[in-house]
Amino acid sequence: MKQQELTVKDVLETLPRRMRSRRLGDWKAVFHFDIRGKRGGRFTVRVGGGACVVLEGLQGTPDCLVQAQDSVFLGIELGDINPQVAFLTRRVRVSNVPAMLQFGKVFYRYGQWRHMQAGIGEPLPGHRSERLPVDGPLSGIRILDFTRLYPGPLATMMMGELGAEVIKIEDPGSPDPMRGYPPYLDQQSVGFLAVNRFKYSLALNYRHPEGRRVFFRLLHHSDMVVESFRPGVMDEWGLGYGQAREAKADIIYLSLTGYGQQGPLAARASHDLNYLALSGLLSITGTAERPVIPGGQLADVAGGAYMAVIAALTALWHRERTGEGRHLDVAMLEGTLPLLTLQWAHLAATGKPAPRGEDILSGGMAAYNVYRCADGKFIALAAIEPKFWETFCDLVGHPEWKQSYFTLGDAQHALIRQVAGVIARHPREYWVKLGERHDICLTPVLDLQEVPSHPHIQQRHLMRREQAPPRIRMPFLRPSEVPGERPAPALGQDTVTVLEKAGFSRKEIQTLHKDRVVLQQRGDDGGATGEG
């Protein structure tokens, strides 16, 4: 069905199939949907007793009334409109917010559900490619990857690009939520595509007794398990480190969480922003008025993904020398703290932190700052050493600034304003050319779309712009060592292949599929995943 032909009735009638039964519990509620417009209508949704019933018309007394225009309601369901923004701007009116929040937990949004369905049907256009092993320094290492969302999948993807055979294991009924997150490219989540290259997909109901048996058969031929659930969850499913170690004594088991396996916060839900806040990094980032959220997920990537890769490589070398496996407890909060090594040292020396925006490396120094140009674009000046600063002062015709280099307080603030006034006289390109001709640590602040076209990025072959989303290579690999493309897999794309490689017969696989323990994507031809 074309998107412009979709109606509210079409969307609501799929609710029984979009229900996450495990999250329903004993919750019961009646919802009235009063959706205006040609594609709208009035509907009653009754949830309870493990079922969902959708009726036309407003029937009975509702626990929650939802009112919206058809375009807004459908936009939310398709992932084109942020539901929180729609609620705050009153484009959607909800009479019982807690009930609606629970509704959102129990049901996948329509667009997310459709994209998940696309992942388990026929291969998506342009998605299938040669499923060949990647040659690299980690060739021969097999990883069972239970991670979801961003930090964990990024870590395992990096190890996959280095040659490890990464088997992404997902419950067919509750796959990686990233598969359904907008925006989309050719009906696929670009976020999922970006962090799941170089992996094979096994759709396995690992909470089923037979699914657990499949896991332990795979474990026998694997080197590492990587998971990112809250502490104790894998143990509850019978898949934790203790159970894995009993089955394979030298297994490396990496648990990536926000706060680690123990501690007062261990079980608490959090995200990148929370780790930045608790690490102290957020408190020193921004202006005197308030902290500013960084544009990238520093804790997720540096504190999570990078630390996980470092831990994994360390454990592999430890096992190589001793024959011992181990449980790796990688916490993103702890992994973020080393980003502030210098700031902690300064604090130890001075006894107090510099006010936010006043430290010499965070906006408190004229020689190390960001300035707006005449065309509204920005340049970054990092002339922190005297020789660079003095050259810059001479080039802009202000040799008197040299003596103000390390002044503090109002004098430094005045100098920053003076430098800003000079920079604002010319467009960014003028300053770019000045920085190219003279060694003064002056660079443009590039927009994201400008980065791939920068001559240095191109010369170093850091990004492949012809791929969507763009692929960023492992920075320390030589261009000749960068493996060919292997796109993120559809859900269950390699189920048969992975199981056959682990010694499962075709009859066993068919039985597992019939019993809904595994899901095999139509078209999985059983191509090789690498040496067993």
What CATH number is associated with residue 125? Answer: 3.40.50.10540
- Select, from the ranges 33-37, 49-53, 172-176, the one with the highest average predicted confidence (pLDDT): 33-37
Per DSSP, the three-state class of 21 is helix
Q: Is residue 474 part of a domain?
A: no
Q: What percent of the chain has pLDDT over 70?
A: 92
183 shares its domain with 307: yes
Task: Report pTM.
Answer: 0.77
What CATH number is associated with residue 383? Answer: 3.30.1540.10
Token code pair at residue 217: 């058969």
- Whether 300 is catalytic is yes
429 shares its domain with 372: yes
Domain hosting residue 60, numbered range: 3-107
**How many secondary structure helices (H) and strands (E) does the chain include?**
23, 19
122 shares its domain with 256: yes
Residues contacting 410, CB < 8 A, separation 6+: none
500 vs 506: CA distance, rounded Å: 7
pLDDT band at 128 (very low <50, low <70, confident <90, very high): very low
- Catalytic residue, candidates 208, 221, 271, 513: 271
Q: Is residue 483 part of a domain?
A: no
Last residue of a domain, one of 55, 84, 107: 107
123 shares its domain with 103: no
282 vs 284: CA distance, rounded Å: 5
235 shares its domain with 302: yes
Q: Is residue 150 part of a domain?
A: yes
Total residue count of the chain as it appears in this document: 532
Q: What residues pair up with 442 in beta bridges, in sequence order?
A: 381
312 shares its domain with 400: no
Reported in sequence order, the residue ranges of 88-158 that DSSP labels E, i.e. its strands, are 92-94, 142-145
The reported pLDDT for the residue numbered 51 is: 87
Q: Is residue 90 part of a domain?
A: yes
103 shares its domain with 133: no
Q: How many folded domains does the chain comprise?
A: 3
pLDDT band at 116 (very low <50, low <70, confident <90, very high): low
pLDDT over 50 (residue 121): no
398 shares its domain with 443: yes
97 shares its domain with 152: no
- Catalytic residue, candidates 171, 272, 300, 494: 300
Last residue of a domain, one of 76, 107, 138: 107
Task: Give 299-344 pLDDT, tens digit per residue.
Answer: 999 999 999 999 999 999 999 999 999 999 999 999 999 999 999 9
